[in-house]
Each structure stands twice: as C-alpha cells, then as structure tokens.
Structure 1
Amino acid sequence: MTSNGGTATLTGERADLLAGLRKARHFLRYTVRDLTDEQAARRTTVSELCLAGLIKHVTEVERRWTAFIVDGPAVMEEDGDWASYFRMEEGETLAGLLDAHAEIARRTDELLAALPDLDASQPLPEKPWFEPGARWSARQVLLHVIAETAQHAGHADIIREALDGAKTMG
C-alpha cells in the first residue's frame, strides 16, 4: 500500500482482490440499470429470485462476512427470516437497496485497505456446511464474497434477460 496525497492506494494482492470485487459488483449493479421498483421486484423464472432481492442478498452477505473478519463467528448468527434477504419487501425501493449496497461496498473497501494481515483468521461458525474446527483468513472471506457476488451477478443477468431482453454482457 502506498500513500497518495492522504489516500491509500492499494497495490499487489489487495489491489487484485479489490479489483475482482469491484468488477463483480459492477456487473451486478449494471444488470439493474433503468429498472422500476416493480420490475426489480418481479420474478421472471421458476425461482424465487428477483433482481432487487439479489442486490439485497449480496449486500447482506458482504456485510456479514466482512463483519466476520473483524468480529468472528458470532456475527454470522441468523436474525429473522433469511428468505427475506432475497425479496424486495413493502416500503423498500431499488434505489434504497442500491444505496445500502454502495455503503457496504465502501466499508468493505476501507476494511481491505486497513487490514493489518490478510492471513488473520477467525473460526467458522459451527454449521453443517463448514468443516468442524475450520478457520477462514480474511483473504478466504474476501474470495468468498467475490465468488458470491459474481455468482449472483450471473443469476441477475438471466433474470434481467427474462424480464425485458436486456443483457449485462453481449
């Protein structure tokens, strides 16, 4: 990391991780361009997924996993209806969900710049899908967030194409 007039410029691995995450975020956000709230909330496949719900879900995933880097597995405890993170609820707007996503993205970017050690790890929550006693480093968490965001950007592209024929790529 180097200093650039008071702002940190990431280099090396951190710059690469941030570039990958920003690219995945861009494709996800680009997919919802020019949509109304009604369009963003519409299901276009047999799945329960909608575009606004994917934005909401990815925001929550990034929020929880970056909190895990700092505070450990306790922040991963489910609070409420996890399925609600996949749909746009009454009173929510696409603009509001995008603003929340941008805020979490900003915090993650700052965390990545400030982390003293990407090898620092936390024990994973005790869940059947995690190996007992396993730990993830900050690096592994960031790679997971990138993969999750990219995967859901692909889902969003399919949903958007079914909605109105628009494509994110191609």
Structure 2
Amino acid sequence: MPGQVGAVSSEREGLLAYLAQMRYVVRLTAYGLTPDQLRATPSASPLSVAGLIKHCASTEENWIDTVRREPREIDYNAYEANFRLADGETIEDVFADYDRIAAKTEKTIAAIEDLSQDVPVDHSVPWNPKDIDNWSVRWVLLHLIQETARHAGHADVIRETIDGGTAYPLMAAAESWPESPWMKPWKPASA
C-alpha cells in the first residue's frame, strides 16, 4: 500500500480509504518485531505495539456493531486487557481478527444508503456528550480514523523506542522499496 491514500471519487470511498490506510500504518508498527518486542512496554504507560493494534481492532468492532444496532456489552473492568495480548495470543491472531473486523466494516458501510443515518450515543460513558442522542455513520467513520491514527502515533513512539524503527523505513522494508539516498528500508539490528 502506498504511503498516501490515492485519489477518491466519493465521500464514502474517501472515508473507507483513510480508515484502511490508518489500519495499515498501525499494523506496520509490528513489522519485524519478535513476540517479546510486540509485548514490550518501554514507556511510562502500559502500552505495547501489539496491545495498541488489538485495541484498535476491538474499538472498530464496537463502533461498527453500534452502527449495526448490535452493540456488545463492554466489560469495563476488563478494559485494560483490551490493550495487551492474552497468554497464548499472537500478533497473527490479532491481525486475523482485525482483517475480519475490517471486512465487517466495509460490508456494513456498503449496505448503508445515507452516511447521515443516526447512530445512538452511548450516554453511559463520561466522554460522550449528554446533550445529543445520535451521531451519524459519517461521524463514526471520522472517529474511527481519528482513533486509529492516534493509536498509530502511540505505536510509532513505542516502536521507535524498542528498536529505532520508524514509519517510512518500516513501510519501505515491508513493501521492498529499493534503497535510495533519502530512504533506507528498516533492517533488524542483527542484519
């Protein structure tokens, strides 16, 4: 996938393309990491690269289920578990789940005629405004882009702290871009 979203011909196509791009860049932060590095929490927070990717997937599914009027009961006591790999869980498991969720999002949005369709606001959480009752599907997609991009930034910092890998060199390595005077694909420290 290129480093930039390509030309878009409609609002829906643009929103879905930018969401797909953000999914890609957050996933890219895991490129080349060992299982221990994927679980590493090298900053002051308990965040890890794998945990952030898992959280992005779960968040997207929760929002799309809300759009579909099939909200899942969220166990807020287990919220932190959403930010880390469970025992025996692998990044491949997380990626497979994220792929399933992305396909569900694409199918759901394709079936919605009007992006202004109402999506109920969850008033049980303190961060949602109490003075509105509905978002729109458009708002949900913009929010998912924002949420995924925010966490991609967190994952970028964690990744760089682990081994110095940054976004474009990682993308160059993952996509086999040729080395140039201004872009050197990432290589593991042992290479």
Question: What per-residue deviation string (whole Å, max 9, x for no partner) do you get for residues 13-63 of structure 1?
Answer: 111001110111111111111122211011111111001100110011000
State the 1:99 CA deviation.
1.0
1:94 paired with 2:99, answer: no
Taking the aligned partners of 1:162 and 1:128, their CA distance within structure 2 comes to: 32
Question: May I ask how many residue pairs the two structures share in their alignment?
Answer: 159
1:72-151 matches, within 5 Å, as: 75=71, 77-79=73-75, 80-126=77-123, 127-134=125-132, 135-151=134-150
More relative contact order, 1 or 2 (CA 8 Å, 6+ apart): 1
Task: Tell me the TM-score normalized by structure 2.
Answer: 0.78
Which residue of the partner structure matches residue 160 of structure 1? 159
Taking the aligned partners of 1:129 and 1:150, their CA distance within structure 2 comes to: 19
Which residue of the partner structure matches residue 70 of structure 1? 68
State the 1:146 CA deviation.
0.7
Taking the aligned partners of 2:168 and 2:86, their CA distance within structure 1 comes to: 28
Taking the aligned partners of 2:72 and 2:96, their CA distance within structure 1 comes to: 23
Name stretches of at least 5 consecutive residues in structure 1 with no aligned partner: 1-9
Q: Do 1:50 and 1:87's aligned partners in 2 also have CA atoms closer than 8 Å? A: yes
Which residue of the partner structure matches residue 37 of structure 1? 35
Taking the aligned partners of 2:155 and 2:15, their CA distance within structure 1 comes to: 22
Q: Do 2:18 and 2:145's aligned partners in 1 also have CA atoms closer than 8 Å? A: yes
Question: Which runs of 4 or more aligned residues in structure 1 lie more than 6 Å from their structure 2 counterparts after TM superposition?
Answer: none
Amino acid at match of 1:83: E
Name stretches of at least 5 consecutive residues in structure 2 with no aligned partner: 1-7, 170-191
Q: Do 1:76 and 1:125's aligned partners in 2 also have CA atoms closer than 8 Å? A: no
Q: Do 2:156 and 2:167's aligned partners in 1 also have CA atoms closer than 8 Å? A: yes
> Larger Rg: 1 or 2?
2
Name the structure with the higher helix share.
1
Q: 1:119 to 1:109 in 2, by over 3 A?
A: same
Taking the aligned partners of 1:99 and 1:36, their CA distance within structure 2 comes to: 18
Q: For residue 122 of structure 1, give the secondary structure of its aligned residue in structure 2.
A: strand
How many percent of aligned residue pairs carry the same amino acid?
38
